């Protein structure tokens, strides 16, 4: 500031330096639409903005500059994403940063498994069939029986030998879908064998009368055996033979096999 002199006053001046030492404080906002915690598939809008008019806000996702996605709906895989919205310091404004984590959950897969129409363990008697049917809501599932892939038997009746079988259906999922599984057991019980022993004519008979002793069992996996007084006479089964006078103890039996029990009938 100064003034010139005149005939009555001398000239004068005075100067000062004005220093602006405090910068404006910048702030950044980071807004998600929809909010975190959604389930795949979903499109997400991450909106990043800062109050510093001298520099542009920058948006990062997992450390990568994705400013081109700012305020845009983008499709993301299931997972956890670390977002950062920031602005650099300028002549008149401070730097600022805002960060947040966004989570997208995997879509839950579901597998269905039924044995002979019921979603439960199964017990049947040989040679009853087993029909295993499976499905899944998304992707592809595989059906195993005792560890062997039997997907091609889906909803198809099969006859299994006596034993217990583990049916497992697995949908392994992937990066966007969770895995799922279901297990049921099918138990095939032995069938009960029955032996019949018939005489023609019926006892007692007179000497010189031929007798037909018929021995039969319901086990198709093994032949019936006919004994007379402890001796194997299967060759006489269902044949008319002449016997001496006396008492005879006949036994008709069959041995146990994989799918049928043993059985015995005596007379």
Quick one: average pLDDT of 10-32? 76
Quick one: average pLDDT of 156-168? 98
Q: How far apart are CA 32 and CA 130, in angstroms?
A: 52
Domain map (residue ranges) of the chain: 28-105, 111-189, 195-266
| C-alpha distances out from residue 105 to 63, 64, 96, 102, 161, Å | 21, 21, 30, 10, 44
Domain 111-189 CATH assignment equals 2.60.40: yes
Q: What is the pLDDT of residue 126?
A: 98
* CATH T-level topology, domain 28-105: Immunoglobulin-like (2.60.40)
The answer to whether 237 touches 263, Cβ cutoff 8 Å, is no
| pLDDT beyond 60 at 142 | yes
Of 46, 52, 50, 43, the closest CA to residue 66 belongs to: 46
Quick one: average pLDDT of 9-37? 79
Over residues 180-213, the pLDDT tens digits come to 999 999 999 999 999 999 999 999 999 999 999 9
Mean pLDDT of the chain: 95
Q: What is the pLDDT of residue 260?
A: 98
User: pLDDT above 70 covers what percent of the chain?
Assistant: 92
| pLDDT beyond 70 at 138 | yes
Give the model's confidence band at 18: pLDDT under 50 very low, under 70 low, under 90 confident, else very high. very low
- Hey, what's the torsion of the CAs at 250, 256, 262, 267, to 10 degrees? 0
User: pLDDT above 90 covers what percent of the chain?
Assistant: 92
- Vertex 68: Cα angle to 66 and 72 (nearest 5): 100
Number of Cβ within a 10 Å radius of residue 22: 8
Same fold, 28-105 and 111-189: yes
């Amino acid at each position: 500031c100064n003034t010139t002199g005149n005939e009555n006053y001398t000239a004068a001046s005075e100067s000062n330096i004005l220093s602006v030492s405090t910068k404006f404080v910048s702030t950044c906002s980071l807004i998600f639409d929809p909010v975190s915690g959604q389930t795949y598939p979903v499109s997400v809008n991450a909106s990043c903005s800062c109050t510093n008019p001298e520099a542009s806000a920058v948006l990062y996702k997992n450390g990568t500059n994705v400013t081109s996605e700012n305020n845009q709906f983008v499709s993301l895989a299931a997972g956890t994403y670390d977002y950062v919205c920031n602005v650099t310091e300028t002549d008149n404004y401070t730097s600022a940063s805002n960060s947040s984590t966004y989570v997208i959950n995997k879509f839950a897969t579901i597998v269905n498994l039924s044995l002979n129409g019921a979603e439960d363990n199964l017990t049947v008697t040989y040679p009853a069939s087993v029909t295993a049917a499976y499905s899944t809501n998304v992707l592809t599932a595989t059906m195993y029986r005792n560890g062997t892939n039997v997907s091609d038997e889906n909803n198809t009746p099969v006859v299994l030998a006596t034993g217990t079988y583990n049916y497992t259906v697995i949908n392994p999922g992937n990066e966007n879908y969770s895995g799922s599984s279901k297990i049921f057991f099918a138990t095939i019980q032995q069938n009960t064998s029955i032996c019949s022993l018939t005489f023609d004519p019926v006892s007692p008979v007179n000497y010189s009368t031929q007798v037909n002793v018929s021995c039969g069992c319901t086990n198709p996996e093994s032949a019936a055996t006919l004994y007379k007084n402890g001796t194997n006479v299967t060759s006489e089964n269902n044949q008319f033979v002449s016997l001496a006078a006396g008492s005879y103890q006949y036994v008709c039996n069959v041995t146990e096999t994989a799918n049928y029990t043993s059985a015995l009938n005596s007379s």
